[in-house]
């Protein structure tokens, strides 16, 4: 295993240390228990927005803490849910009296631990609502999941809920728009290589020299099938078709197209996939009116990509376009 | 070779196609000959800023075309210089009458081809100045270079020259501040793995299972030495010390610290390196007053990182902080 780390067991804390120093204007990194909050504290009158999950998917979630997106992020160990005692202070620190929305990817550990933390916060009198992200169309149940997994669609949920909170929406309204994004977003990914969890030290799965896995999960969970490596056009079609079919996209609709890198794939290849995915959507007479291409929800150094499509309307476009200032998204 | 490409020979054009569609608000991609210009055309009265070089280092350079940075970028084939007939129209398209600065990384092919294009532009009556970036302290001459190679310090040169042009500086003044950045910036990199040029189809060099190369070039050119894989702290010291020594940093100085990923290394590891590099600079009583961490000057899917340090002063900080709106940098 060759990784730019000191003690693999301290990978998350060491990385967060550097992250906190590099972005001290945006975030404060707390180590006991581990969580990340906005440097400027909660905004009076604004609904707090909190997310979290296992580390190893950077920049998710801590890279999205800042103006117009998250108020706090809670990273667990690599590919491991954060614990309720980490999540609770993140919720508390994000509450300015207007309540807090938690955004949770649908993995059993995350769901249980966020539920526990939310109950503890509610017992203290905080208003907390939750939304579950389950955008991965690849499989119905998975290694760590009952129901569909939450993957790169989470970026859209966090951006849009964050924008709704920033414009002053109530907790009910922020939760409602987040739910609307969840209903309208779907993703599917492909792995060209496996990744290695630092404290494990060996690849999470084996993939042949010329083999790829369609429908891979962001922790290397099995997808739909393994096929021989082929051209980007063919691979992209195997991602776009299930996503567009599952969304039941109709001619004339407009969408956000997010091509997300798994961490180890060059940006240049992501743009090839983006171009192909856009052609496929246009063949369906679907308009790509918003785009995002880059490494946003990764699986350590895995080579591969995912395609995410979000059905848009005027309100969602406005919220997507609203200003955001975080380490990983800024406009 | 597993890459998300169709025809490897068309990798650059296919990728630029997707890039142009994803960022149509910012850039126009021209295919005959290949170059990228600002979508909005040259800004009246503003000095144009143009850069280019072999592809495979994305987001460099096309990802830096937009407000406050480059007016045009000229990508060659992967790891291959663009030709004068590509560079000339990029210079012409960037001229609004105030002249054009070309920013060239110090590789023999880039230097010759930019020189030829600049002479052709000057023969047409355009005012063109050039600056050569040679920030890599690893070796004095290299495979494709007489003198030091130009690497991630290029981002600082392009950002600061772009900001000077945007505020209305004359060609002489933009060139002078770019030269000042070149004099004050140094870099050094490490490779954990090799990368594979698409049309070659096999790794550019061999690196053992537990071996890394200190001082690697961004095309896999040999560095200073190969050593066994070690902890991030040790590796970072082997990058920071030569950079800081070569700059002759004095206690009390302030710097920009850029930790750049080579493409295949997780962001989380780059933040570990950032944290260690910052500690090492602080041990020298040097203040890190500006930071950038991410994949900016890459070598396809190579795993590894580089450390870049730029000596700052009030003016350079102001120009670094000035607004920028490009695909890859936005604030």
pLDDT computed for residue A264 by the predictor: 97
What structural domains and CATH numbers belong to chain B? 11-183 (3.40.50.10440), 185-320 (3.30.1180.20)
Interface check B61 vs A, CB under 8 A? no
Among A34-38, A136-140, A165-169, B321-325, the minimum mean pLDDT is found in: A136-140
Q: Does the complex come out with an ipTM higher than 0.90?
A: yes
Q: Judge whether A35 counts as a catalytic residue.
A: no
String of DSSP letters for A241-307 = HHHHHHHT--TT-EEEEEEEE-SSS-HHHHHHHHHHHHHHHHHTT-EEEEEEEE-SS--TT--EEEE
Interface check A287 vs B, CB under 8 A? no
| Window 198-217 of B, Cβ < 8 Å to A | 210, 212
| Secondary structure letter of residue A196 according to DSSP | B
Are B303 and A264 in contact (CB < 8 Å)? yes
What is the spatial distance between Cα A173 and Cα A47, in angstroms, rounded to a whole number? 10
Q: Which tens digit of pLDDT belongs to each residue from B257-290? A: 999 999 999 999 999 999 999 999 999 999 999 9
Looking up tokens 């380490």 gives A327
String of DSSP letters for B238-261 = HHHHHHHHHHT--TT-EEEEEEEE
Q: Is the model's pLDDT at A146 over the cut of 90?
A: no
Task: Indicate the length of chain B as a whole number.
Answer: 331
Q: How many CA atoms lie within 13 A of A69 on its CB side?
A: 29
Q: Minimal Cα distance from B3: which residue of A?
A: A269
Query: Which of A4, A59, A261 best probes binding to B when mutated, by most B CB atoms within 10 angstroms?
Result: A4
Judging contacts by C-beta atoms under 8 Å, the chain B residues touching residue A273 are: 4, 18
Residues of B recognised as catalytic: 57, 219
Spatial CA neighbour of B72 closest among B184, B165, B172, B170: B165
| Terminal CA-CA length for chain B | 37
Helix (H, G, I), strand (E, B) or coil at A58: coil
Q: Is the model's pLDDT at B145 over the cut of 90?
A: no
> How many A/B residue pairs have CB atoms within 8 Å?
183
Give the closest-approach CA distance of B179 to chain A in angstroms.
27
The mean pLDDT value for B213-218 works out to: 96
Confidence band of B294 (pLDDT split at 50, 70, 90): very high
Partner residue facing B3 (CB), from A7, A18, A269: A269
Selected residue with higher pLDDT from B142 and B218: B218
| Window 116-175 of B, Cβ < 8 Å to A | none
Q: Which tens digit of pLDDT belongs to each residue from A84-135? A: 999 999 999 999 999 999 999 999 999 999 999 999 999 999 999 999 999 9
Selected residue with higher pLDDT from A146 and B267: B267
Q: Is the model's pLDDT at B146 over the cut of 90?
A: no
Q: Which tens digit of pLDDT belongs to each residue from A183-200? A: 999 999 999 999 999 999
pLDDT computed for residue B202 by the predictor: 93
Partner residue facing A15 (CB), from B2, B59, B271: B271
Quick one: what percent of chain A has pLDDT higher than 70? Answer: 100
Quick one: what percent of chain A has pLDDT higher than 90? Answer: 97
Give the closest-approach CA distance of A148 to chain B in angstroms.
26
Query: C-alpha distances in angstroms, A137 versus A4, A121, A150, A242, A243?
Result: 33, 32, 9, 7, 7
Q: How many CA atoms lie within 13 A of B15 on its CB side?
A: 29
Q: Is the model's pLDDT at A145 over the cut of 90?
A: no
Q: Which tens digit of pLDDT belongs to each residue from B64-104? A: 999 999 999 999 999 999 999 999 999 999 999 999 999 99
Query: Which of B23, B189, B268, B302 best probes binding to A when mutated, by most A CB atoms within 10 angstroms?
Result: B268
Are B5 and A232 in contact (CB < 8 Å)? yes
Whether residue B91 contacts residue B50, with contact meaning beta carbons closer than 8 Å, is answered with yes
- The continuous run of DSSP H or E covering A66 comes out as strand A66-67
Judging contacts by C-beta atoms under 8 Å, the chain B residues touching residue A193 are: 2
Q: Minimal Cα distance from B277: which residue of A?
A: A18
Whether residue A320 contacts residue A312, with contact meaning beta carbons closer than 8 Å, is answered with yes
pLDDT computed for residue A13 by the predictor: 98
The mean pLDDT value for A275-300 works out to: 98
- The continuous run of DSSP H or E covering B233 comes out as helix B232-247
Mean pLDDT over all residues of chain B?
97
Q: Is the model's pLDDT at B169 over the cut of 90?
A: yes
Quick one: what percent of chain B has pLDDT higher than 90? Answer: 97
């Amino acid at each position: 295993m060759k990784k730019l780390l000191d003690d693999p067991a301290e990978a998350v804390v060491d990385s967060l240390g550097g992250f906190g120093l590099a972005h001290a204007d945006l975030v404060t990194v707390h180590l006991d228990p581990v969580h990340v909050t906005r440097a400027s504290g909660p905004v009076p009158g604004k609904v707090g927005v909190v997310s979290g999950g296992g580390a190893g998917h950077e920049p998710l979630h801590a890279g999205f803490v800042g103006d117009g997106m998250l108020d706090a992020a809670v990273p667990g160990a690599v590919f491991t849910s954060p614990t309720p005692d980490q999540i609770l202070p993140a919720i508390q620190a994000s509450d300015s009296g207007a309540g807090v929305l938690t955004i949770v990817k649908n993995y059993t550990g995350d769901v249980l631990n966020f539920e526990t933390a939310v109950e503890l916060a509610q017992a203290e009198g905080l208003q907390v609502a939750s939304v579950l992200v389950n955008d991965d169309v690849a499989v119905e149940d998975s290694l760590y999941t009952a129901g569909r997994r939450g993957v790169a669609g989470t970026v859209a949920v966090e951006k849009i809920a964050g924008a709704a909170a920033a414009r002053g929406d109530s907790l009910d309204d922020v939760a409602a728009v987040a739910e609307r994004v969840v209903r309208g977003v779907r993703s599917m990914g492909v792995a060209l290589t496996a990744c290695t969890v630092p404290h494990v030290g060996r690849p999470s799965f084996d993939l042949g020299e010329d083999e790829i896995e369609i429908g891979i999960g962001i922790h290397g969970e099995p997808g739909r099938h393994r096929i021989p490596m082929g051209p980007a056009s063919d691979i992209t079609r195997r991602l776009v078709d299930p996503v567009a079919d599952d969304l039941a996209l109709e001619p004339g609709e407009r969408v956000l197209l997010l091509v997300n890198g798994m961490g180890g794939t060059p940006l240049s290849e992501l743009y090839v996939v983006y171009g192909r995915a856009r052609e496929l959507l246009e063949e369906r007479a679907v308009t790509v009116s918003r785009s995002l291409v880059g490494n946003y929800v990764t699986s350590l150094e895995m080579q591969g990509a995912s395609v995410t499509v979000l059905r848009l309307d005027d309100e969602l476009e406005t919220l997507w376009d609203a200003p955001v200032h975080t380490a990983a998204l800024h406009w």
